[in-house]
A and B are shown apart, each in its own frame.
Chain A
C-alpha cells in the first residue's frame, strides 16, 4: 500500500497546489449543502409550537456560534504549533482562520439579537453567554489588528500566538456559561453524551447547515491561505 507522506504538506510550496485543487470542489459542496439546509430548514421543518417561525433563526445562529468557537480553538492550536515548531504554514493557517472565525462570531451575535427581540423582547442583554461571545469577537479583532500592525510576519505570528493562547480560556467559558451562571440564554439543545432535546425534523436541517458552514470555512480558509502563501513566499498564482 502506498503511504502518504503527510509532513511534505507542511511545506507551503507543496501545500499550495494541493489546496488550490480542493477549493472549487469544496465551494460547490458548500453551496449544495447551504441550499439543502435552507430548503429543509425554511420550507420542510415544522413551526415550533411555542415560538412559531421565529425559531428558524436557529439554523444559521447555532452553526455560526459553533463555528466561531471551533475556529478560535483551531486558530489558537495552529498559532501555537507555528510558534513552538517555527512552522510557518501553521502560523499562516492561524491568520487565515481568524477572518472567517470573526465573521461567524459577528453573525452569531447579530442573528442572536434578531432572535432575541421577538422571543425575549430585547435586542441585547448583558448575559454571560452573549457577553463572552462579544469578548470572543474582540479577541478575533485584536488578533487580526495585531498581525496587521506588524511589518515582520514572523514577529506578527509570535505576537498573535500569545494573544490567541491567552484568549483560548474564553472558549470553555462561552460553552459552559449557560451551566455556570443563571442566564437568559437557553442551555444546550444538542448534546453529544446524552439525549438531545430537539426534534429530528429540526435537528436534520441544523446539522446540514453546520456541515455547510464547515465546508464553506475550509474552502475560504484554504483560499485565503493560498493568498497568504503567495504574498509571503512570492509564489506565482
Chain B
C-alpha cells in the first residue's frame, strides 16, 4: 500500500472512520457495562 500515492488519503480515511465507529460503539458499550 502506497499511502503517499493518489489514493492513500481515501483508503486511510476509510479505515480511520471504521476504527472510530468501532471505537465509539465499544466505548459506549463499555460505559453501559460498568
Partner of A42, one of B1, B6, B17, B25: B1
A220 at the B interface (CB under 8 A) = yes
Given A103-B25, A227-B29, also A54-B18 (CB < 8 A): no
Report yes or no: A52 in contact with B1, Cβ–Cβ below 8 A: no
The distance in angstroms between the C-alpha atoms of A115 and B12, with both chains bound, is 11
Give the chain A neighbours of B10 by CB distance below 8 A. Answer: 54, 57, 114-115, 117-118
A106 at the B interface (CB under 8 A) = yes
A78 at the B interface (CB under 8 A) = no
Q: How far is the CB of A236 from chain B (nearest CB, A)?
A: 13
Partner of A216, one of B14, B17, B22: B22
Interface size class of A (residues with CB under 8 A): 20 to 34
Report yes or no: B17 in contact with A43, Cβ–Cβ below 8 A: no
Give the chain A neighbours of B17 by CB distance below 8 A. Answer: 107, 110-111, 114
A129 at the B interface (CB under 8 A) = no
B1-34 at interface with A (beta carbon < 8 Å): 1-2, 5-8, 10-11, 13-15, 17-18, 21-22, 25-26, 29, 32-33
A56 at the B interface (CB under 8 A) = yes
Report yes or no: B2 in contact with A114, Cβ–Cβ below 8 A: no
